[in-house]
Structure 1
Amino acid sequence: MEQADPRELQSLQYYLNEYGQQAEVFARQLEMMDQQRVEAFAAIETLRSLGEAQDGTVLLPLGGGVSVRATVPDPEKVLVAIGADVTVERSNEDAISFLEGRARELEASEKKVAETIENLKGQMNEIAARLDAAYRQQQQIAPGR
C-alpha cells in the first residue's frame, strides 16, 4: 500500500476550503435576494391597501418599529426606483406590475443560486470523501504516528 501524496492532500484541502467559501458567498446572496423578494411583496400589499384607503391615510414606517400616520394626496401615483439611482412616477397598478415582475426575476435567480450551492456542496462532499479515504489510508500504513 502506498502513501497518499501530501501535495494532493494539500490541494484537496485547499479546494474544499475554496468551495466552502464560495458556498457561503452564494448563501449570503441567496438571503439578500429572498429579503428583496419579501420586500417587493410587502410593497405590493402596501400599494394595494393604499389604493383602498378611503381618506388616503396610511401608516408610514420610519424604522425601529416606529410608524406615523400620513396622508397620501395622490395614491394613484407612486415613485418607483427602477435601478441605477433612477426613480420614475408610475400609476399604482403599473408599480404593482413592476414589483411582481421583479419578484418573479428574483425567484428565478434564487433557484439558480440554490442550484449552484447544491453543486458546490456535492463537490465538497466528493473532496471530503477523498480526503477521508486518504487520511484513513495513511493511518493504516503508519498507525503508530
Structure 2
Amino acid sequence: MSLGGGGQQQLQQLSQEIQALEEEKEELKGDIEALQAEKAEIEEAKEALDVLETGSTVQVPLGGDAYVRAEIEDIDEVVVSLGGGYAAEQTSDDAVDVLEEKKGAVDERIEDVREEISTVEEEQSSLEQQAQQAQQQMMQQQMQAQEQQQNGE
C-alpha cells in the first residue's frame, strides 16, 4: 500500500510552479538589463549633444556595424525618436528635454519590473514553504506507516 502518493504529486506540482517562477524572474532580470542598456544609450546621446558643436566630425552608423564620417552642419537641428515609429526635428535643448522624458519613462519601467520581480519572489517563497510543509507531512505519514507496520507484525 502506497501512502502519500497524492503528496508526491503535490510536491511535483509545487516544484514545477517554483521552476516556472524562477524562469519568469530570470526573464524579468533580462528585461531590466535591456532597459538599463537603453538608459545608457539615452545618457550617451545627451552627453553627445552637450559636447558636440557645429562643424564637429562624427561617426554615423549606417547599420550592420558600418559607419561613415560626417560633419555636423548645425547642432541645433536634431532628429529625435518620439516612439511608435515617429521622429521629429528638435532644437538641441528640446532634444535633451525629450531624452530626459524618455529616461524618466525607462526609469519607471525599470521600477515596475523590479516590483514585478519582488512579487514573483514572494510567490516563489510561499510555494517553497508549501513544498517544505508537504514534504514534512509526507515524512510524518511514512514514519507513522512504518510504526503501524512494525506494531502489526
Q: TM-score interval w.r.t. the shorter chain?
A: 0.7 to 0.9
TM-score scaled by length of structure 2: 0.76
What aligned pairs does 1:4-43 form with structure 2 within 5 A after superposition? 5-43=7-45
* TM-score where L is the length of structure 1: 0.79
Do the aligned residues in 1 keep the contact of 2:18 with 2:128 (CA within 8 Å)?
yes
> Offset at 1:60?
4.7
Larger radius of gyration, structure 1 or 2?
2
Shift of 1:78: 0.9
- The amino acid across from 1:112 in the alignment is D
Unmatched segments (≥5 aa) in structure 1: none
What is the Cα deviation at residue 139 of structure 1? Answer: 3.7
Deviations 1:55-111 (CA, angstroms, capped at 9, x unpaired)? 433455679999765310111101111122222111111110000011011111111
SS in structure 1 at match of 2:49: helix
- CA separation in 1, counterparts of 2:65 and 2:142? 62
**Distance across 2 between alignment mates of 1:55 and 1:118:** 49
CA offset at residue 33 of structure 1?
Answer: 1.0
What is the correspondence of 1:3-82 to structure 2 with a 5 Å cutoff? 3=4, 5-50=7-52, 53=53, 55-58=55-58, 60=60, 70-82=70-82
| 1:127–1:9 Cα change, 3 Å | same
Q: Which amino acid aligns with 1:70?
A: A
Aligned partners of 2:17, 2:71: CA distance in 1, in Å? Answer: 57
Paired residues of 2:60 and 2:68 also in contact (CA < 8 A):
yes
Residue identity (%): 24
Range with greater deviation from structure 2 (81-90 or 107-116): 81-90
Q: Which stretch of structure 1 is more off in the superposition, 134-143 or 96-105? A: 134-143
Distance 2:57 2:40 in 1: 24
User: Could you say which residue in structure 1 is the equivalent of 2:131?
Assistant: 131
- Report if aligned partners of 2:46, 2:96 keep a CA contact under 8 Å in 1: yes
**Using the alignment, how far apart are the partners of 1:15 and 1:116 within structure 2?**
17
Distance in 2 (alpha carbons) for counterparts of 1:101 and 1:79: 15
User: Which deviates further from its counterpart, 71-80 or 121-130?
Assistant: 121-130
| Contact 2:59–2:67, Cα closer than 8 Å, also in 1 | yes
Q: CA RMSD in A?
A: 2.8
Distance 1:114 1:26 in 2: 8
Unaligned runs of 5+ residues in structure 2 are: 147-153
Q: Please tell me the residue identity of whatever aligns with 2:89.
A: E
